[in-house]
């Protein structure tokens, strides 16, 4: 480890901007992703692809440089620095790790090899993991176990209210009573209305007498309430656009 230089800036406090490069001691190649840790401070950084690092430290801090395959190296920041910037060239020495010997043995018989090979659990690839994460049964199980956030809670309440008003029994009548509006009638949600709409055949010219009666009652009540409204309220004014 060699000190390169220190800038001649007037000191401000004990905070030092430490920067430099981490390289191998034998070939002087950059060591990327090396850890630069301030001991007992819970702070640190890593070197970039060129081995360069920059971190804020204090005078007297113990700095540890480490990387896989190299021996750790420590450095103590001098306490008598007069500048607020300091640079280092850190040379890491290769570390040889000896692993225990591994002995490879064949299966006793071909039948045992085929059995073990067929029963070997292969790890899931990324496509299979994505498929499992989007499985509907798994998503439903997560929905039951995880709490709802504010948006989900409001959407659930609105859906329940919609089911109550529009798909429950006498939903339109209950909605009219809640808002004190005249109830004009209700049209049954039957399959013939949907099929007639898809085929271009209105319900009034079809063969469903119950549906036709419901439409007639609705039309007569609508005409009656419009007439009452026109008799008791002033005419609707034409919207004027003032530029």
Q: For residue 166, what are its two tokens?
A: 């529009």
Domain boundary among 41, 63, 92: 92
CA distance 59 to 236: 82
Cα–Cα distance for residue pair 66/72, rounded to 1 Å = 5
The tens place of each residue's pLDDT in the chain, 243 residues long, gives 555 444 444 445 689 999 999 999 999 999 999 999 999 888 999 999 999 999 999 999 999 999 998 999 999 999 888 889 999 999 999 988 788 888 887 777 888 888 888 888 888 888 888 888 888 888 888 878 877 788 888 888 877 766 655 555 677 777 788 888 888 877 766 666 767 777 777 777 777 777 788 888 888 888 888 888 888 888 777 766 665
Residue 100 lies in a domain: no
In a 10 Å sphere around its CB, with 0-12 CB exposed, 13-18 middle and 19+ buried, how is residue 175 labelled? middle
Q: Collect all residues with Cβ–Cβ distance below 8 Å to 45 and sequence separation of at least 6.
A: 36, 53, 54, 55
- Tell me the residue range of the domain where 214 lies: 184-231
Instruction: Say what the pLDDT of residue 115 is.
Output: 86
49, 77, 92: which is the final residue of a domain?
92
Overall domain count for the chain: 2
**Of 32, 63, 92, the domain-final residue:** 92
Tally of residues, the chain: 243
115 found inside a domain:
no
Rounded to whole angstroms, the Cα distance separating 194 from 187 reads 12
Q: What pLDDT is stored for residue 128 in this prediction?
A: 87
pLDDT score of 239: 67
Which of 18, 129, 224 lies closest to 216, judged by CA? 224
User: In this structure, is residue 212 part of a structural domain?
Assistant: yes
| Each residue's pLDDT tens digit, 155-167 | 888 777 666 555 5
* Tens digits of residue pLDDT in 28-68: 999 999 999 999 888 999 999 999 999 999 999 999 999 99
């Amino acid at each position: 480890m060699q000190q390169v230089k220190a800038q001649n800036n007037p000191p401000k406090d004990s905070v030092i901007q430490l920067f430099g490069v981490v390289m191998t001691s034998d070939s002087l190649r950059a060591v990327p992703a090396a850890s630069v840790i301030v001991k007992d401070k819970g702070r640190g950084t890593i070197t970039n692809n060129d081995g360069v690092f920059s971190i804020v430290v204090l005078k007297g801090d113990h700095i540890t440089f480490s990387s896989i395959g190299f021996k750790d190296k420590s450095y103590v920041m001098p306490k008598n620095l007069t500048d607020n910037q300091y640079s280092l060239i850190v040379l890491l020495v290769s570390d040889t790790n000896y692993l225990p010997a591994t002995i490879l043995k064949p299966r006793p018989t071909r039948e045992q090899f085929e059995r073990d090979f067929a029963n070997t659990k292969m790890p899931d690839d990324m496509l299979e993991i994505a498929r499992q994460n989007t499985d509907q049964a798994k998503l439903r199980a997560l929905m039951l176990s995880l709490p709802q956030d504010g948006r989900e809670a409001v959407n659930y309440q609105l859906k329940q209210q919609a089911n109550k008003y529009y798909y429950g029994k006498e939903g339109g009548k209950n909605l009219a009573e809640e808002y004190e509006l005249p109830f004009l009638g209700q049209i049954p949600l039957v399959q013939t209305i949907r099929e007639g709409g898809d085929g271009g055949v209105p319900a009034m010219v079809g063969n469903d007498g119950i549906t036709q009666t419901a439409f007639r009652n609705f039309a007569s009540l609508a005409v009656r309430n419009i007439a009452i409204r026109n008799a008791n309220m002033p005419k609707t004014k034409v919207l004027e656009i003032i530029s």
